[in-house]
Structure 1
Amino acid sequence: MHCVRKVTDDLYWVGANDKRLHLFESIHPIEDGVSYNSYLLMDEKTVLFDTADWSVGRQFCENVEYVLNGKPLDIMVINHLEPDHAASINEIILRYPDVKVVSTEKAWLLMNQFNFGVEEENFIMVKEGDTMKFGKHEVTFVAAPMVHWPEAMVTFDLTNGVLFSADAFGSFKSLDGALFADEVDFRNEWIDEARRYYTNIVGKYGPQVMALLKKASAIDIKMLCPLHGPVWRKDIPWLLDKYIHWATYTPEEKGVMIVYASMYGNTMNAAQILAAKLHEKGFHNVHMYDVAETHVSYLIGQAFKLSHIAILSVTYNLNVFPPMQNFIDDMKRLNMQKRVVGVVENGSWAPQAGTLICEELDEMKQMTVLNEQVSLLSAVNKMTADELDGLADSIIESMKQDY
């Protein structure tokens, strides 16, 4: 049975939700599922914007068939070739063999690599600035390379101001019957998952995202239709502001992320002491994470949000504790920058973690490492407790700078 929502005049959401997938891209936990969004325009020409992952292929195809209601499918615009949006291309072509597929030159290469079944005579290659008219609706295509694949583009409907934004402005979480961002409590219940989606999937490509945002600022966007998450028809400037922060690696707010690696509880105790001292001194936007218990994608999301990171790690085989090393490596891979960092190490006979962490932070852009570094020998004592107090003072003092 179909599950369809009307987006606006002539435009329908024909995507599907996946509540059974537990790992997005086989790496990121999605406890609340994910949506695969596809949109069908009913004009003089019928136009499908992207498809869906094959895991929801049956539902997606039923939705398309229902909206078409016996009409042929004329055009399929593919903004992004990643299989969670393109895997059903084959099935659409089998069902509607006369459909013309519209996308970029690089997308054509990827279509062949993935064996998506597109014949050359049915492919229409477009580039930035090209337009197509489907009846009363006319669209233009905007290149979005490395947001977050090289073939990506977005499509802007000049008639009604709808931007089909590919993976930009998306989010984890299943829609569960909702469609629009104003139908859910996005600012409280969705923003963390939208941030985690962006930072882990697209976060490395901040300059490319800013280039797309600059192009977007020149068009009169009335609605954002991403490939994951809700459609935006209100508060679009608020969402764009979030993206500007993320794409420029600018903290959203002043706050401290305390992330610790502890084998027997002593480094965890140091983290608790540091957090307590921050609260005692009147600073309360403090968030604590056990790096061994928290998936790194959540840690990355918080690192993009907050201005300060306190890293406390036990030394392990004369190196950084492996899950902490993974977090630091991920920050480097995603080009994390512009953060103030406090470092605390622990070791019983040869503490090395602090030195190694600082070396890695030095390789990252605009990362300020506070001088009040703390070295524990097995457990916190009176002297190191005082040093943690000094680190808390240093963190709070550094909050005076602007973001």
Structure 2
Amino acid sequence: MMSNDAAVSIGDGVYWIGGDDRTATIFEGAFPIPEGVSYNSYLISSKDTTCLLDTVDASIASKFWKNLRTTMGDRKLDYLVINHMEPDHGACITQVLEAWPDVTVVGNSKTFTMLENFYHVVPKNRMEVKEGDTLTIGDHVLKFYFAVMVHWPEVMFTYDETTRMLFCADAFGTFKAMSGALYADEMDFDRDYLEEARRYYSNIVGKYGSKVQAVLGKLKDVPIEMLCPLHGPIWRRDLGYIIGKYDLWSRYEPEDKGVMIAYTSVYGNTGVVAEKLAHLLKERGVSNVVVHSMTTEHTSYAVSDAFRFSNIVFAATTYNNNLHPTMSATLEDMENMAVQNRRYSVIGNGSWAPQADRLIEERVSKMKDMTKVGETLVIKSSLAPEQIPELEKLADDIAASMR
């Protein structure tokens, strides 16, 4: 267990010096984080050499500096390795350079371009590394693996051959503050963090599945004993569990057999149909059914469950002779994050000129390997009693597609 304001030794000469931010409510200006987020930074301190791996967001800079100064004492910093230049991990870089102007900054060619673009600084000493290069820090031998577009072009992983730790940038991270735990095995990860880890992956990294697969291929035979991400808990046990999730998600394979119903409703009538369908599916033995009202929920939750479940139902209202804007946003985000290889069904509503069903079909057609299940159900204002058999048939077809 850890204190929120203390460095933690995580291995021979390796320290975690990050912290939680519970004041943040939005991530990257886009994603709600109602339970905050954590930021991780790491320090390797050998007998003669010190090396900092990434910094943190400005919101927890005071925690970071307290942890770093406590761990460093009056020693100088020899190296700063930048695995990821995104400002939520790079916000303290300029202060590090001011504190130790002779520090050698380690990164790749894209790292240094971004460093100048973001902070308008050119380090006095820089070490530009290429794929497979190594750097010796006392007893530690660091090897660099490029992780291009996971999820930025400059991303790289740093592998410590001595401790077998992989400092893996944004990979294997999660939303949500850590509540005193530092390691995944100190928490009920499935219960408390899996949903936020999936939402983080699907909305931040999701469209780059092929790039994730490429990095997993590079690391296949590397003996990793600890995963050290920049957000969320460190993995020191059951690494195959979270690596397996990333493998599944990045191949766009459903994690679970189940149905995600995403609906928009103006006056509640489309919502009634969505809830009725969920009930009918439960009656037919479908245990995993999740309903999202896109008029009240952020699209990131639906995108996350689209990565999780085998089946998606889109139910939407026609609005101004177009698709309701919240369903339009949901489909746009799913397309942007490369949702694919799913079975889908369509329910459209339109009081006098239904268009939603046709527009949903047009949007889904832009996604890869999507298979339609059942006939489209079109209602006018509200579900008519004589249409209930059609809804029941749709539930039958969806349940059958999952057997």
Q: TM-score, normalised by structure 2?
A: 0.97
More divergent stretch after superposition (94-103 vs 140-149): 94-103
Give 2:59's aligned residue: 55
Give 1:232's aligned residue: 235
One-letter amino acid of the counterpart of residue 307, structure 1: S
> 2:140 matched to 1:137?
yes
> 2:126 matched to 1:117?
no
> How do 1:25-64 residues align onto structure 2 when only pairs under 5 Å count?
25-43=28-46, 44-64=48-68
Shift of 1:272: 1.6
> 2:322 matched to 1:319?
yes
Q: 1:282 to 1:176 in 2, by over 3 A?
A: closer
The size of the alignment, in residue pairs, is: 399
Deviations 1:38-73 (A, max 9, x none): 000111310100001112112111111110111111
Give 1:253's aligned residue: 256
CA contact (8 A) 2:5 2:19 kept: no
Shift of 1:320: 1.0
Give 1:272's aligned residue: 275
CA contact (8 A) 1:2 1:66 kept: no
Deviations 1:102-126 (A, max 9, x none): 000000100010125332x411100
CA contact (8 A) 2:25 2:34 kept: yes
Give 1:161's aligned residue: 164
Q: CA RMSD in A?
A: 1.1
One-letter amino acid of the counterpart of residue 249, structure 1: Y
> 2:206 matched to 1:214?
no
Deviations 1:106-161 (A, max 9, x none): 00100010125332x41110010100111111010000110000011000001111
CA contact (8 A) 1:75 1:102 kept: yes
Shift of 1:176: 2.5
**CA distance in structure 2 between the partners assigned to 1:5 and 1:24 by the alignment:** 26
**CA distance in structure 1 between the partners assigned to 2:142 and 2:83 by the alignment:** 13
Give 2:297's aligned residue: 294
Deviations 1:344-368 (A, max 9, x none): 0011110000011011111110011
Give 1:332's aligned residue: 335
Shift of 1:173: 0.9
**CA distance in structure 1 between the partners assigned to 2:40 and 2:150 by the alignment:** 17
- Where structure 1 has 5 or more consecutive residues not aligned to the other structure, the ranges are none
Deviations 1:281-336 (A, max 9, x none): 22221111111111111111111101101111011011111001100000100111
**CA distance in structure 1 between the partners assigned to 2:177 and 2:272 by the alignment:** 37
Shift of 1:371: 3.8
**Secondary structure of 1:93's match?**
helix
CA contact (8 A) 2:151 2:208 kept: yes
**Secondary structure of 1:267's match?**
helix
Shift of 1:218: 1.9
**Secondary structure of 1:114's match?**
helix
CA contact (8 A) 2:54 2:82 kept: yes
More divergent stretch after superposition (255-264 vs 108-117): 108-117
Give 1:262's aligned residue: 265
CA contact (8 A) 1:311 1:344 kept: yes
**Secondary structure of 1:84's match?**
helix
CA contact (8 A) 1:260 1:268 kept: yes
**CA distance in structure 1 between the partners assigned to 2:62 and 2:244 by the alignment:** 37
- Where structure 2 has 5 or more consecutive residues not aligned to the other structure, the ranges are none
Shift of 1:280: 1.6
Match of 1:77 among 78, 81, 94: 81
> How do 1:79-94 residues align onto structure 2 when only pairs under 5 Å count?
79-94=83-98
Give 2:365's aligned residue: 362
CA contact (8 A) 1:93 1:118 kept: no
**CA distance in structure 2 between the partners assigned to 1:395 and 1:116 by the alignment:** 55
**CA distance in structure 1 between the partners assigned to 2:373 and 2:380 by the alignment:** 20
CA contact (8 A) 2:146 2:157 kept: yes
One-letter amino acid of the counterpart of residue 77, structure 1: V
**Secondary structure of 2:119's match?**
coil
Percent identity of equivalent pairs: 45
CA contact (8 A) 1:90 1:116 kept: no
Match of 2:247 among 244, 256, 263: 244
Shift of 1:202: 0.6
**CA distance in structure 1 between the partners assigned to 2:136 and 2:57 by the alignment:** 28
**CA distance in structure 2 between the partners assigned to 1:64 and 1:96 by the alignment:** 13
**CA distance in structure 2 between the partners assigned to 1:192 and 1:258 by the alignment:** 17
CA contact (8 A) 2:264 2:294 kept: yes
One-letter amino acid of the counterpart of residue 307, structure 2: F
Deviations 1:68-110 (A, max 9, x none): 1111111000000000001100011111222110000000100
Give 1:182's aligned residue: 185
Q: TM-score, normalised by structure 1?
A: 0.97
